[in-house]
């Protein structure tokens, strides 16, 4: 039991050391304390209040509507299951015709 606690503690220390090494290479100019304070100040700013954010209308869309968003002019960006079945049937029919001759 003691070994598991020691190994767990060593693993946490290793994770903290790796995290500290990564953060030391990306240290902000003013330091981490100023960076955290500026981050909180930015989130508390009036420009991010709910009533000042742009409102979007969300509406339900059918699957066909979602598929039509990515359809280029000449070919669809997807293949419907019934088209795949039809192509597979064509391949089987051609294979039968070739093996008969």
Please state, in angstroms and rounded to a whole number, the distance separating the CA atoms of residues 73 and 77.
10
- Would you place residue 4 in the very low, low, confident or very high pLDDT band (cuts 50, 70, 90)? very high
Count, residues in the chain: 101
In terms of Cα–Cα distance, which of 66, 87, 86 is closest to 77?
66
Average pLDDT, the chain: 81
- Structural domain boundaries of the chain? 1-54, 57-101
* Cα–chain center distance at 16: 27
pLDDT in tens, 39-70: 887 777 666 666 666 666 767 777 777 766 76
pLDDT in tens, 5-19: 999 999 999 999 999
Whole-model pTM?
0.36
Alpha carbons within 13 A on the beta-carbon side of 69? 5
């Amino acid at each position: 039991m003691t070994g598991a606690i020691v190994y767990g503690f060593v693993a946490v220390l290793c994770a903290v050391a790796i995290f500290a090494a990564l953060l030391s290479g990306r240290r902000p100019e003013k330091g981490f304390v100023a960076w955290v304070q500026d981050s909180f100040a930015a989130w508390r700013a009036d420009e991010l209040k709910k009533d000042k954010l742009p409102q979007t209308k969300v509406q339900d869309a059918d699957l066909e509507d979602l598929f039509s968003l990515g359809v280029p002019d000449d070919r669809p960006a997807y293949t419907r299951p019934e088209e795949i079945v039809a192509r597979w049937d064509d391949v089987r029919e051609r294979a039968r015709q070739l093996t008969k001759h």
